[in-house]
Amino acid sequence: MAQPAFQTEVTSIPDLPDAGTIHLKGRVTLQEATRFRESILSELSQSSATKLVLQLSGVEEMDTAGAAVLAEALKAGQNRGMRVLLCSPSESVLRIFRLAGFAEVLDQCCADPGETRRRLLE
């Protein structure tokens, strides 16, 4: 059986009981977008957290389809009253957000876990 193109792992954030993290690893391109969308939206709907971090440091490749799913996840979280932040996107992922014109997504990006933690505490 072939390894999936991407993997997600959900963890809690120490000292922030109302926050959680979804760690994303691998690649998210057009071929994986539907499955990625289902996975992320399912995690959002099942989460009891009011603050959620999508950790992107493990993303090797992303295209505009993957970026669109992240934009949708941000909106879905917002609609549920969650604060959703994107942590540690690579320069190539940031470039995709810029190319797609996702200014709102870029506003929710944090350079590293320290910045993410500070913003979650705001």
Tell me the domains of the chain and their CATH numbers: 6-121 (3.30.750.24)
**15 pLDDT more than 70:** yes
**pLDDT value for 25:** 92
With cut-offs at 50, 70 and 90, classify the pLDDT of residue 42.
very high
Instruction: For 44-92, write each residue's pLDDT tens digit.
Output: 888 888 999 999 999 988 999 999 999 999 999 999 999 999 999 988 8
Model confidence, pTM? 0.88
**pLDDT value for 106:** 87
Q: How many CB atoms lie within 10 A of CB 101?
A: 11
